[in-house]
């Protein structure tokens, strides 16, 4: 059975009911809403809107991890994050920081952030040491094939479910070696990170098979290109809809993931996702 409480720096988050994590992009080049909220005041207004709509936590990213995204310097990433994090920690809302740089992890935790959400799953040198030094910081360990610059040029081959399961086993072994308890960890199969459309759909269909690791799972289907590909093939007569036109499919993917065991859904569109999960919860008798 999965843990139902996620231990983070300031909060013990009850995952008996699934939680919605709202995305706050502080980048000019995010695939979905690049540049819309990268000024601190814009980001804070957007964060306030997401919380008002029902986001149980916020995920802040200051470097895009879309396919082919250029790297951002340490100085620039810290400058984008600092004013927003320092304000948001006053709001009493769990804060996740989407970064792979150990220096950013350490700074964000020192400012009061609660969770590190790392697409590299702490594989960059120094990442595990940061988490070991912060005995209550939460972490999301995500599977990514290759790296953002090339992951969709040469996507995975073979059995995606087996490879993700093996990766999770190895990541959790690393966590144990560094003294990071499983109660602090959630696992993310990394939808779209070096995977084909068929592989992403397999991970959705078989998400229940990712529930045997003693850790909750988090998924990020929101506005992803796989949804665009499905809609283009089955609805849009070959025309791929823009990311902002994939909201309904994103909500459906989040709901289907929760039905298969996901405990956290990372989304751009908080209000419709919260509404869909409210209906799902009512049907469960919760």
Which candidate, 236, 141, 151, 148, places its Cα nearest to that of 188? Answer: 141
Q: What is d(CA 138, CA 124) in angstroms, rounded to the nearest whole number? A: 17
Alpha-carbon 141 to chain mean position? 9
Catalytic-residue membership of 184? no
Q: What is d(CA 268, CA 249) in angstroms, rounded to the nearest whole number? A: 12
Of 9, 184, 260, 266, catalytic: 266
Catalytic-residue membership of 195? no
Give the single-character DSSP code of 217.
B
Q: Dihedral sign, CA of 165, 168, 170, 176? A: negative
Q: What is d(CA 138, CA 130) in angstroms, rounded to the nearest whole number? A: 11
Of 19, 223, 224, 260, catalytic: 224
Token representation of residue 128: 């595990």
Per the CB < 8 A criterion, the answer to whether 258 and 221 are in contact is: no
Annotated active-site positions, please? 224, 266
């Amino acid at each position: 059975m999965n843990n139902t409480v996620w231990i983070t720096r300031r909060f013990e988050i009850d995952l008996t009911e699934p939680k919605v994590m709202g995305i706050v992009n502080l980048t000019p080049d995010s695939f979905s809403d690049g540049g819309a909220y990268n000024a601190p005041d814009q980001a804070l207004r957007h964060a306030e809107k997401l919380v008002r709509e029902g986001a149980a936590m916020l995920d802040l990213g200051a470097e895009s991890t879309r396919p082919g995204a250029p790297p951002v310097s340490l100085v620039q990433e810290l400058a984008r994050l600092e004013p927003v994090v320092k304000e948001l920690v006053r709001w009493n809302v769990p804060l996740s920081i989407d970064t792979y740089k150990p220096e950013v992890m350490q700074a964000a935790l020192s400012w009061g952030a609660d969770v590190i959400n790392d697409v590299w799953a702490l594989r960059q040198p120094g990442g595990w040491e940061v988490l070991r030094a912060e005995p209550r910081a939460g972490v999301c360990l995500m599977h990514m094939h290759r790296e953002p610059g090339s992951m969709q040029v040469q996507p995975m081959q073979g059995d995606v479910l087996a490879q993700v399961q093996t990766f999770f086993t190895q990541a959790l072994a690393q966590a144990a070696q560094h003294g990071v308890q499983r109660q602090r960890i959630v696992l993310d199969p990394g939808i779209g990170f070096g995977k084909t459309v068929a592989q992403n759909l397999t991970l959705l269909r078989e998400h229940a098979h990712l529930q045997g690791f003693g850790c909750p799972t988090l998924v990020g289907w929101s506005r992803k290109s796989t949804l665009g590909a499905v809609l283009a093939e089955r609805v849009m007569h070959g025309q791929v809809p823009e990311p902002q036109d994939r909201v309904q499919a994103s909500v459906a993917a989040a709901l289907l993931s929760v039905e298969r065991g996901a405990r956290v859904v990372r989304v751009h569109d908080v209000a419709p996702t919260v509404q869909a999960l409210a209906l799902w919860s009512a049907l469960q008798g919760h």
